[in-house]
Structure 1
Amino acid sequence: MKAKIRDLGTKIIQKTRYKNSIIDYKPIFDLCDFEVISNEYNGGKRIGIMVPHLVKSSGGVTSILRLGTQLSYLGYQVTYITMFNDKKEEMEDTAKHNLSSYQGKCVAMDNTKKDDFDIVIATEWRTVYRVLSYNAYKMYFVQDYEPIFFEMGERYLLSNKTYELGLHIVSLGKWNIDTIAKNCQINGKVDYIDFPYEKTEYSYFKRDFTRMSNDKKIKLAVYVKEESKRLPVIIPLLLDKLKKSLNDSNYNLEINYFGNGLPLSIENGNSLGKLSKKQLYDLYCQCDFGMVASLTNISLVPYEMIASGLPVIEFKDGTFDYFFDDQSAILCDLNVKHLKDELLDYINNPQKLETLNNNAMKHLKELSWEKSAQQFSNIINDLKQ
């Protein structure tokens, strides 16, 4: 009897998923014939930036707001459009939550017309198919290579096709461009801007690297999120073994997890959840190391940690060394002994840790959202030539 009920439940779930997929994919086929578009810029500074939703505490949404705000300062008329027609009041509240000084208007897609903009910018794979309906120059602001988030199937195929439709791709950093080129037939213009961070939010905090060897205590700030690219299961398992191994060497490892919206099922550390910018900065200043997994395009978090003077632990299998040299962080694999030995080597040689931090800081000196937005504007201006 239980088996029949279980099978019936499975069939209902499968049927519901199938119906939902048809609802999701039908508008794509209604709007797109999967031919390369004709894409020509005729001038003008009215920009529409389309997102699925404006989401609170989202790094990707905040980056979009920062780009749009800086473009506003450069003279563009910027409008943020929600593909799923969020209420204007909710959009404005979310935008202020993520970036209190944001510039630009908020509007639902249903309240826009085809000729409202000179440029429309897609920001996520589903939004690409929506911007096709506008009579405007079509750009694609790429913050990550999204097909990698899906199993090989329909979503993978449809997200991968977005890079082949002829939109003008502008990537946040160069890694996306190289990855897209390996996996797709690109048919439009391709550019990238520097991956920036916000200098005003995370100032350098001078710390005493000799304290750890004296106190025999290591405080770790660990970014964990419910996304497989952030290793939300592997990292706690890895750190559980590390904690026990360090304890054998008379070191106490305090682990502070942050970034997760849902509580983590862990017993080896503190689950702090999502933190405000002030709480984040305070955590960075209190800790000795920060740990992040950037398996696809790099996260903003290591930039924030480095700007705060916090030495970073990243993964060799990720993209950190695409943006920084390998002497800017402790690059680990899944071997706990390797990580323990390297940590203790740096702790017992604080000058090496100081050098590591200084190397990382050098990469941040020329970065800013003002500079990256100017690069984006220059890309648009070059279209007129």
Structure 2
Amino acid sequence: MKKKWAILLYGLGISGGANVIFQHAMYAVSQGIEVTIVSMNGQTHVDASWHEAAGCFDYKKFEDIVTLYFDVAIATEWRSAFDIYKVHADKYIYFVQSIESKFFQRNNSLLGYIAETSYDMPMEYVTEVTWIKEYLLRFYHKKAELVLNGIDKKIFTCDGKRIDERPVDHVRFLIEGSMTNWLKNVPKAIEVCKKAGADDVWLVTPDRVKKIEDFGVSRFFSKVPMKMMPEIYRSCDVLVKLSVVEGMFGPPLEMFHCGGTAITYDVEGSEEYMIDGENSFVLKKGDEKAVIGAVKRLIEDRNELNRLKENALKTAKDWIDWNHSSECFFEAIDKSTKINDEDYEIIQKKGKKGSDSYKQAEALMGLEPDMNRIEKLREFCRRETKKLFLYGAGKMCRGTILNLDQYDISIEGILVSSIDNNPNTVMGHRVYEIDKVMDKKDSIVIFVTSDIYYSEIFYMLQCKGFMDVF
């Protein structure tokens, strides 16, 4: 009889974290495991079609597995570590890919605090990077099994198809990441490249992007499937990746395999394979001047660029592939122990309490908005007297209202495309259809509450004639 794994995965869109999980799950299937992806929103293989393994798994919601029993249940992020109590299994594993309490911009974030408590759940722990292994041991006395991420050495190679040939008369820089995720710091990466005099900058992002003019880059790629990434890497010389929080820092390693080098901050995870001045430039987090200096140096010194590239390629050759990584992951799961009755009861109690807590916090307070955009809005409001409207009445709206209230920034109302299926008010603020304020477009400023759909909404509002949009 086939063994069964339930993997709790709440986001099936393009991301490095989801790719890692799919790689390990694909290997498990090859070993005869029946893998079920459990989501909150009923997502299916269609939502994960960017990955070659998407069709290898079954997809279910929690209500679909009430009567099912699994050999292994695997949590893959902090919310799922609480929700795992809903899964009946012999073994409970927490695969920690980052310390997600760091994802919240405010140190006093309630959701950040709840996320941090997930690391005290009585499960077996697996992680992908040394710094997380040390963190879990130091603060929670959890001995996590370390399984470094692999890389697909069949596609991430120096040789192969390119979007364009690497230029011989200048240096081409690549920036990768979501424009709306503050952790990725993409707008800052574009800004420092411009300040350094880089005139050929490419952007690849999981966001929906329609207008290159919005970002000031030479070329952009939106929602690129994983198989196309090597073609982009091979076309560029240097990856500029200024993330402020990471787990296992994957993109620079991919760039190394494709013959390039990287400029990054000394973000956690970089120490696994990046050596400053040897195969890349690894600079103090937040040191913009150092990044500008590094970009200028590589623009001006082709010999230095080539030296870093050569050493980066040597690093890449010594790195493990996915088969080796997933074999180690599979062995870690296989040798893990079955849950005992006492720990099972704790998972049931702590899990339900944590699950209820984060859902109540999200319902009452909403999700945290992008604080970089909040700061830009504050600067605008100091200069201008235009009336402020928020766009979007979902969970992000509540979090935005609470944040703006701390700065005494008044909100005129909330805009939506259609009043159907939207509330009449959110936290006392009236909801209007966007068409109702078309005649006021020159006298209002709009803050888009959504991060995920920011680019798409921004473009829509600009097309309607709203110029002051954050």
- Which amino acid in the other structure matches residue 177 of structure 1? K
Task: Measure, in 2, the Cα distance between the counterparts of 1:76 and 1:260.
Answer: 31
Task: Measure, in 2, the Cα distance between the counterparts of 1:357 and 1:304.
Answer: 12
Instruction: Report the equivalent of 2:46.
Output: 93
Whether the aligned pair in 1 keeps the contact of 2:36 and 2:60 (CA below 8 Å) is yes
Matched, 1:49 2:7: yes
Matched, 1:242 2:196: yes
Indicate which of 346, 361, 369 corresponds to 2:313: 361
Instruction: Report the equivalent of 2:110.
Output: 154
Corresponding pairs, count:
323
Moved over 6 A (4+): none
SS in 1 for 2:59: strand
Matches within 5 A, 1:1-385: 45-55=3-13, 57-86=14-43, 91-100=44-53, 103-113=56-66, 115-136=68-89, 137-150=91-104, 151=106, 152-182=108-138, 184-186=139-141, 188-205=142-159, 215=169, 217-225=170-178, 226-243=180-197, 253-263=199-209, 265-267=214-216, 269-295=218-244, 296-326=246-276, 327-333=278-284, 338-339=290-291, 341-343=293-295, 345-346=297-298, 350-364=302-316, 365-383=318-336
SS in 1 for 2:234: helix
CA-CA distance at 1:118 after TM superposition:
1.1
Task: Measure, in 2, the Cα distance between the counterparts of 1:340 and 1:94.
Answer: 38
Report the CA distance shift for 1:268/1:190 in structure 2 as closer, same or farther (over 3 A): closer
Task: Measure, in 2, the Cα distance between the counterparts of 1:315 and 1:233.
Answer: 15
Calculate the TM-score normalised by the size of structure 2. 0.62
More displaced, 92-101 or 366-375?
92-101
CA-CA distance at 1:341 after TM superposition:
4.7
- Structure 2 unaligned runs (5+)? 339-470
Instruction: Report the equivalent of 2:443.
Output: none
SS in 1 for 2:36: strand
- Which amino acid in the other structure matches residue 10 of structure 2? P
Report the CA distance shift for 1:100/1:49 in structure 2 as closer, same or farther (over 3 A): closer
- Which amino acid in the other structure matches residue 103 of structure 1? C
Calculate the TM-score normalised by the size of structure 1. 0.74
Report % sequence identity: 19
More displaced, 231-240 or 256-265?
256-265
CA-CA distance at 1:332 after TM superposition:
3.5
- Structure 1 unaligned runs (5+)? 1-42, 244-251
Task: Measure, in 1, the Cα distance between the counterparts of 2:269 and 2:215.
Answer: 27
Whether the aligned pair in 2 keeps the contact of 1:261 and 1:273 (CA below 8 Å) is yes
- Which amino acid in the other structure matches residue 202 of structure 2? N
Whether the aligned pair in 2 keeps the contact of 1:119 and 1:138 (CA below 8 Å) is yes
Report the CA distance shift for 1:377/1:335 in structure 2 as closer, same or farther (over 3 A): closer
Report the CA distance shift for 1:315/1:384 in structure 2 as closer, same or farther (over 3 A): closer
Whether the aligned pair in 2 keeps the contact of 1:290 and 1:305 (CA below 8 Å) is yes
Report the CA distance shift for 1:381/1:198 in structure 2 as closer, same or farther (over 3 A): same
Whether the aligned pair in 2 keeps the contact of 1:142 and 1:171 (CA below 8 Å) is yes
SS in 2 for 1:291: strand
Task: Measure, in 1, the Cα distance between the counterparts of 2:242 and 2:268.
Answer: 7
Instruction: Report the equivalent of 2:447.
Output: none
CA-CA distance at 1:219 after TM superposition:
1.2
Task: Measure, in 2, the Cα distance between the counterparts of 1:384 and 1:203.
Answer: 38
CA-CA distance at 1:181 after TM superposition:
3.9
CA-CA distance at 1:128 after TM superposition:
1.2
- Which amino acid in the other structure matches residue 120 of structure 1? A
CA-CA distance at 1:159 after TM superposition:
0.8
User: Root-mean-square deviation (CA), in Å?
Assistant: 3.0
Task: Measure, in 1, the Cα distance between the counterparts of 2:83 and 2:337.
Answer: 25
Whether the aligned pair in 1 keeps the contact of 2:98 and 2:132 (CA below 8 Å) is yes
Task: Measure, in 1, the Cα distance between the counterparts of 2:215 and 2:279.
Answer: 29
Whether the aligned pair in 2 keeps the contact of 1:238 and 1:336 (CA below 8 Å) is yes
More displaced, 322-331 or 57-66?
322-331
SS in 1 for 2:158: coil
CA-CA distance at 1:275 after TM superposition:
2.3
Whether the aligned pair in 2 keeps the contact of 1:218 and 1:254 (CA below 8 Å) is yes
CA-CA distance at 1:227 after TM superposition:
1.6
Task: Measure, in 1, the Cα distance between the counterparts of 2:86 and 2:31.
Answer: 27
Instruction: Report the equivalent of 1:17.
Output: none
CA-CA distance at 1:81 after TM superposition:
1.2
Task: Measure, in 2, the Cα distance between the counterparts of 1:165 and 1:54.
Answer: 24
SS in 2 for 1:286: coil
Q: Deviations over 1:306-333 (max 9, x none)?
A: 1111111111355312333332212245
Report the CA distance shift for 1:307/1:288 in structure 2 as closer, same or farther (over 3 A): same
Whether the aligned pair in 1 keeps the contact of 2:50 and 2:225 (CA below 8 Å) is no
Report the CA distance shift for 1:285/1:346 in structure 2 as closer, same or farther (over 3 A): same
